[in-house]
Structure 1
């Protein structure tokens, strides 16, 4: 079986499972978001390969767990975000005292905000379902179109020092695909602000590609190929959600500014 076939099979299985949990929403989806954040943080720590950082990583992991449990239990977003800030500060202090720098605290901050953003974007209502489906459509279409357009057209590299396989044509094809997919979901959901959502989709597509490059930079910095080996054909969880979580954080922040931290989806996706 080729690597592409393995990637396709894994993707179909994962997408089916994720969409089922997304439809249920509520606590079930918040648990999924917490699991993604936890896996991200674990792989973030293992990428560094620093054997002397076990204590700092353990402290940061426990703090992340407390934050994610608070989110799963449905505590107010402002309170949980405040808890995340305090947790990152405490982790940074412990890490500095132990002479370990800021790697574990940075992972706590990024994974924590990613998990919270996903969980609160979905929420319990129909608006949240549309918001997450819109996010998935943009990011997944960006990833797929960038891969196939880049392989077909080739051309100048996008960021050769970070990710030699990515091309400018692929990035452009991914952005076009992401916008079309996002607008299609919005139209099918009966939303009327399609021009605005097309701009949002474009921004999310660019951000998701930036998140992909960010993870590639981290792996190149530490000399690893994949963040893990949990997903056949894809590597680790972080490899699979690198663009998704970056876009989720951006969409959550915009929604929170428009409609409040607890109901971000109502800002753009209220029908």
Structure 2
């Protein structure tokens, strides 16, 4: 035995990168196709993702605890958690998916680069050693920029508006070319969008921490090996689930009130 590190062959690194890239392309094509088709196709895609996530959640619960009561209660809680998130995503059509998924992607992207650039104290090193406070702040800023871009409207894409439906039900919908008043840059709006960005970043990170904690309890690295090079579906949806769940609870509370 020696203390010298053994370098990883370049072919191993490259092969892993190729697999990850190919998997990412396939995921983007499938998700993008469902988003483009909308309607029942998008709802079916969301349902399939939710079912796959629930299956992986149950697998982790079974590995994390041997007690029947704990397993049963955890599965029921997971079913409620994932179902509410899926309904929230599906209820608003393509625009809701773009807003929720896009904001979480912005959080993850900015958090990654902020954490790598500034480093600093970890948020919860025992649960997720790579998450830093700098990353959280960067993620909040990224989500805020995403919302500003959505409010401003990007000419290459369609904009979103609220459709007022019967029985006072409201949902997002496509509204053709951008034509509404752009977002006004003033102190009130800046503070509001920063707060919303911070809330989204915190909730998304909580979803990530929850899955990381559950995987540690289960003693596994990934929720499954369903997606080559990326782990499981739950590994890809943890942040979106948390944000969508909160949105679903807000929507439900609004209807009840």
Same fold (TM over 0.5): yes
Indicate the larger mover: 188-197 or 143-152. Answer: 188-197
- Runs of 4+ that moved beyond 4 A: 2-9, 50-53, 190-194
Q: Which residue of 2 aligns with 1:103?
A: 74
Q: 1:161 to 1:52 in 2, by over 3 A?
A: closer
Q: How many residues align?
A: 212
Does residue 180 (structure 1) correspond to residue 153 (structure 2)? The answer is: no
Q: 1:10 to 1:202 in 2, by over 3 A?
A: farther
Contact 1:204–1:247 (8 Å) recurs in 2: yes
Contact 1:134–1:186 (8 Å) recurs in 2: no
Please give the alpha-carbon distance, in whole angstroms, between the structure 1 residues aligned to 2:64 and 2:199.
38
Contact 2:103–2:146 (8 Å) recurs in 1: yes
| SS in structure 1 of the partner of residue 52 of structure 2 | helix
Does residue 47 (structure 1) correspond to residue 23 (structure 2)? The answer is: no
1:1-271 to 2 correspondences below 5 Å: 1=14, 6-50=19-63, 96=69, 100-122=71-93, 129-188=94-153, 189=159, 190=178, 194=183, 195=189, 196=192, 199-258=195-254, 260=255
Please give the alpha-carbon distance, in whole angstroms, between the structure 2 residues aligned to 1:27 and 1:249.
21
Runs of at least 5 residues in structure 1 that lack an aligned partner in the other structure: 54-94, 123-128, 262-271
Cα displacement string for residues 106-161 of structure 1 (whole angstroms, at most 9, x for unaligned residues)? 22222222222221132xxxxxx333212122100111111122122211111112
Please give the alpha-carbon distance, in whole angstroms, between the structure 2 residues aligned to 1:185 and 1:29.
21
- What is the Cα deviation at residue 43 of structure 1? 0.4
CA RMSD of aligned residues (A): 2.9
Contact 1:41–1:107 (8 Å) recurs in 2: yes
Contact 1:182–1:198 (8 Å) recurs in 2: no
Q: 1:110 to 1:254 in 2, by over 3 A?
A: closer
Q: Which has the higher helix share?
A: 1
What TM-score does the superposition give when structure 1 sets the normalisation length? 0.68
Q: 1:12 to 1:209 in 2, by over 3 A?
A: farther
| SS in structure 2 of the partner of residue 164 of structure 1 | coil
Q: 1:7 to 1:139 in 2, by over 3 A?
A: farther
Runs of at least 5 residues in structure 2 that lack an aligned partner in the other structure: 1-13, 154-158, 160-177, 184-188
Q: 1:51 to 1:162 in 2, by over 3 A?
A: closer
